[in-house]
Amino acid sequence: MQMNKVMKSFIIALPVVTMMACSSGPSEEELAAERNRIAQQQAAEEQAAQEAEEARVKAEAVKRQQMAEEMVKQELQALQNEQTVYFDFDRSNIKSDFFPVLDKHAEFLIKNPGTKVVIEGHTDSRGTPEYN
């Protein structure tokens, strides 16, 4: 009798197991759609990462440019504090004390060729117009 119960259980379980084995998984279309969705998501993430990197590089370039411009402004301001050069008395030679000042101005102009300079001359008000 016990064998009969086991056999009946086996006969009932066999079609159920067979039906479960025959059930199908996701179709090829569903798998292809899922792969496509994942690929699109990865492409969007890569695009966002690339755009973020480009924005970071541009921001760094702008920052470097601004820092360079600020350094030029500071250097120019320092040079403007040392802008008077005197000649030797009764001579057309520049005093040797002012050679370093002229060298600094020359270095600045070499590094910044687009910079324009105004050179002004002054005379001594004590001399006659013919002398000056």
Q: pLDDT tens, position by position, for the chain (132 residues)?
A: 567 777 777 777 777 767 666 656 677 888 888 999 999 999 999 999 999 999 999 999 999 999 988 988 888 888 888 878 888 877 888 888 889 988 988 888 898 888 888 888 777 777 777 776
The pLDDT score that the predictor gives to residue 60 is: 95
Instruction: At 70, list the tokens.
Output: 């600020």
The position carrying tokens 């600020």 is 70
- Asked if 108 contacts 79 with a C-beta cutoff of 8 angstroms, the reply is yes
Cα torsion through 103, 105, 108, 109, rounded to 10: -110
Measured distance CA(61)–CA(54) in Å, rounded: 11
pTM, whole model, 2 decimals? 0.46
The pLDDT score that the predictor gives to residue 23 is: 57
Core vs surface per residue 79-116: b (16+ CB within 10 A) or e: beeeeeeeeeeeeeeeeeeeeeeeeeeeebeeeeeeee
Instruction: At 102, list the tokens.
Output: 């002229």
